[in-house]
């Protein structure tokens, strides 16, 4: 009981003491921060371990958005490079004279220990530190889910800090010139193309090739590959596997194999229905018809066989 009683007096004393100490350092600190902020051309603070403690582990009344990254080329961190301009976009959208939020960047080279402290295993990462009297556990921004875009990032910042501000992308006037140039170039090139490739554009055959090949791509599942980005092929029991079992999924290579088979079948149909009329030699005709028919049946059986791999319950097969 005695101890508790004595504590009663001690707490206000202690807090008074603390307040004094921090009040003193506060001014210094903010000056230091301003100095750091002024160092970089954009609205962010380039941190190292020392400044990290100063900015984040001391009592403070501001939010900190920290980008933990590794820009050294030896890490080959592609996302780090892509994320940086987006992060800077968000940082620059914030009014630099407003002291409620600071943006900071910590490179792995400058702060290996900090990375250890925060248990950051992978870069890049964006962390939010809320105002507090000491060390806080940061909130991590979910990069894999939200992507590298500035629009999503700014939502995160707004949510965490509770301050509304809008993303202002720097207007890039060269872009307009660029687009204007492209439009002019396009018009000129269309003019040229029409002049020189009139035959091709007006030609029925070129349109036919275009249409038919796109149709071929669609029916052999390239759209699925384009949307889902499956692995090219898989491995099972140590062997390379070209066909994945299952109806709603496929490897990228499957589409290519299927496309070839479909093209072969389609050509044999085409030969039998159209080209066969033009063959005048009887022997040639006989041989080609048989060859084409054989190709047709083999490819058809092949596709039935492959389909059996996809759907194990499929009961039909032709040659093998």
Partner 1 sequence: MAVSAVNLQSLKKSKDLLCIVILALIAILAFISRLLSVVRFESVIHEFDPWFNYRATQYLVNEGFYKFLTWFDQVSWYPLGRVVGGTLYPGIMITSGIIYKVLHFFNFNIDIRHICVFLGPVFAGLTSIATYLLTSEVCTKSAGLFAAAFVAIAPGYISRSVAGSYDNEAISIFLLMITFYFWVKSVKTGSSFLAACTALFYFYMVSAWGGYIFIINLIPLHVFVLLLMGRYSKRLYVAYSTFYVLGTIGSMQIPFVGFQPATTAEHMAALGTFGLLQIVAFASFCRDQLPSESFKTLLKRALIVIFIIGITGFIVLQRLHIIDPWTGRLYSLFDTGYAKKHIPIIASVSEHQPTAWPSFFFDLHILVPMFPVGVYFAFKKLTDENVFIILYSFTAAYFAGVMVRLMLTLTPIVCVTAGICMSYLFDNFLGYKKSKATVVKVEETEEVLSGNESTPESPVSPKINSPKINSPKMTNSPKIHNKLKKSEHNSQKQDNSESPSITFEIKLIVTLSLLLVFCMYVWHCTWVTSNAYSSPSIVLASRNRDGSQHIIDDFREAYYWLRQNSAEDAKIMSWWDYGYQLAGMTNRTTLVDNNTWNNTHIATVGRMLASNEENAYELLRKHDVDYALVMFGGAIGYSGDDINKFLWMIRISENVYPEQVKEENFYNSRGEYRVDDSVSPTLRDSIMFKMSFYRFKDLYPNNQAFDRVRGTTVYSKPIQLTIMDEVYSSENLLVRIYKIKKPDNIGRSLQSAAVFNSGRRRKRNRKSRKYKQQKIDD
Does position 192 interact with partner 1 (CB under 8 A)? The reply is no
Taking the least distance from each CB to partner 1, the nearer of 62 and 222 is: 222
Distance CA 288, CA 40 (A): 75
Compute the least distance from the CB of residue 293 to partner 1, in Å: 6
Residue (of 162, 168, 171) closest to 94 by Cα position: 168
DSSP 277: G
Does position 290 interact with partner 1 (CB under 8 A)? The reply is yes
Pick the binder of partner 1 from 207, 231, 240, 260 (CB under 8 A). 207
Q: How many CB atoms are located within 10 Å of the residue 298 CB?
A: 17
Pick the binder of partner 1 from 31, 72, 286, 291 (CB under 8 A). 286
Residue (of 96, 95, 68) closest to 84 by Cα position: 68
Taking the least distance from each CB to partner 1, the nearer of 37 and 295 is: 295
Residues 252-281 that bind partner 1 (CB under 8 A): 254-255, 258, 262-263, 265-266, 269-270, 272-274, 276-281
Kindly state the tokens that stand for 124: 């890049």
Cβ distance 89 to 149 under 8 Å?
Answer: no
Compute the least distance from the CB of residue 32 to partner 1, in Å: 36
Q: With CB under 8 A as the contact rule, which of the stretches 60-68, 163-171, 184-192, 243-251 interacts with partner 1?
A: 243-251
Residue (of 241, 108, 93) closest to 153 by Cα position: 93
What is the helix, strand, coil percentage profile of the chain, to 5? 60, 10, 30
Does position 24 interact with partner 1 (CB under 8 A)? The reply is no
Taking the least distance from each CB to partner 1, the nearer of 50 and 191 is: 191
Element (H, E) at 234: strand 234-236
Residues 6+ apart with CB under 8 A from 92: 42, 43, 168, 170
φ, ψ of residue 172 to 5 degrees: the values are: -105, 105
Does position 296 interact with partner 1 (CB under 8 A)? The reply is yes
Pick the binder of partner 1 from 40, 222, 234, 252 (CB under 8 A). 222
Pick the binder of partner 1 from 289, 295, 298, 305 (CB under 8 A). 289
What residues make contact with partner 1 under the rule CB under 8 A? 142, 145, 194, 198, 202, 204-205, 207-208, 211-212, 214-224, 226-228, 247-250, 254-255, 258, 262-263, 265-266, 269-270, 272-274, 276-282, 285-286, 289-290, 293, 296-297, 300, 303-304, 307, 310-311, 313, 315-316, 318
């Amino acid at each position: 009981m005695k101890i508790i009683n004595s504590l009663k007096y001690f707490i206000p004393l202690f807090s008074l003491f603390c307040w004094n100490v921090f009040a003193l350092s506060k001014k210094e600190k903010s000056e230091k921060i301003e100095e750091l902020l002024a160092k970089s051309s954009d609205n962010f603070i380039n941190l190292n371990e020392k400044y990290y403690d100063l900015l984040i582990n001391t009592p403070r009344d501001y939010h900190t958005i920290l980008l933990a990254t590794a820009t050294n080329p030896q890490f080959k961190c592609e996302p780090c490079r892509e994320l940086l301009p987006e992060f800077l976009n968000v940082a620059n959208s914030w009014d630099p004279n407003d002291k409620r939020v600071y943006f900071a960047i910590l490179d792995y080279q400058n702060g290996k220990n900090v990375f250890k402290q925060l248990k950051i295993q992978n870069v890049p990462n964006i962390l939010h530190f809320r105002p507090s009297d000491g060390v806080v556990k940061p909130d991590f921004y979910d990069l894999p889910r939200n992507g590298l875009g500035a629009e999503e990032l700014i939502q995160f910042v707004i949510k965490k800090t509770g301050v509304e501000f809008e993303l202002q992308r720097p207007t890039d006037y060269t872009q307009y010139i660029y687009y204007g140039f492209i439009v002019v170039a396009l018009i000129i090139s269309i003019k040229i193309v029409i002049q020189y490739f009139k035959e091709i554009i007006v030609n029925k055959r070129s349109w036919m090739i275009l249409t038919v090949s796109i149709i071929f791509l669609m029916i052999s599942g390239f759209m699925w590959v384009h949307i889902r980005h499956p692995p090219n092929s898989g491995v099972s029991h140590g062997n390379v596997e070209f066909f994945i079992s299952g109806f709603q999924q496929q490897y990228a290579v499957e589409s290519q194999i299927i496309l070839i088979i479909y093209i072969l079948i389609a050509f044999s149909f085409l030969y039998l229905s159209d080209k066969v009329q033009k063959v005048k030699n009887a022997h040639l005709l006989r041989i080609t018809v048989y060859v084409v028919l054989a190709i047709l049946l083999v490819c058809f059986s092949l596709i039935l066989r492959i389909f059996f791999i996809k759907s194990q319950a499929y009961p039909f097969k032709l040659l093998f």
